[in-house]
Amino acid sequence: MECMWALSCVVQHRVAMADLQQLRVQEAVDSMVESLERENIWEMQDLMVWCSAGCCEDSQASVQQVHLGIELRQRLWLEPRP
């Protein structure tokens, strides 16, 4: 009976260690994603919004012209760069 109890303890310990390892990996991935968003994506989104907002400054432009300007600027930002 003592052998079964010891085996059960070993299995539980290994499961707990695997869960802890998985938690550490998930925390590292979450941290990396947040860092990428803060350092790169947010800045790009900010620039896209400001550039698109520039299309709205012309009070003489038609709605169609404003929409076209916004669409063109967004396409330029989303194009892959060499």
Residue whose pair of structure tokens reads 């404003």 in the numeric block: 66
Q: What are phi and psi of 60, to 5 degrees?
A: -90, -10
Q: Which of 32, 31, 72, 34 is nearest to 52 (CA)?
A: 72
Q: Rounded mean pLDDT of the chain?
A: 82
In this prediction, residues 35-50 reach a mean pLDDT of 82
- Note if the pTM is more than 0.85: no
Residue 28 has pLDDT above 90, yes or no: yes
* Domain spans of the chain, in order of start: 2-78
In this prediction, residues 35-58 reach a mean pLDDT of 80
Determine the length of the chain: 82
pLDDT the model gives residue 56: 77
Evaluated on CA atoms 6, 9, 11, 14, the torsion sign reads: negative
When pLDDT is cut at 50, 70 and 90, the band that residue 58 belongs to is confident
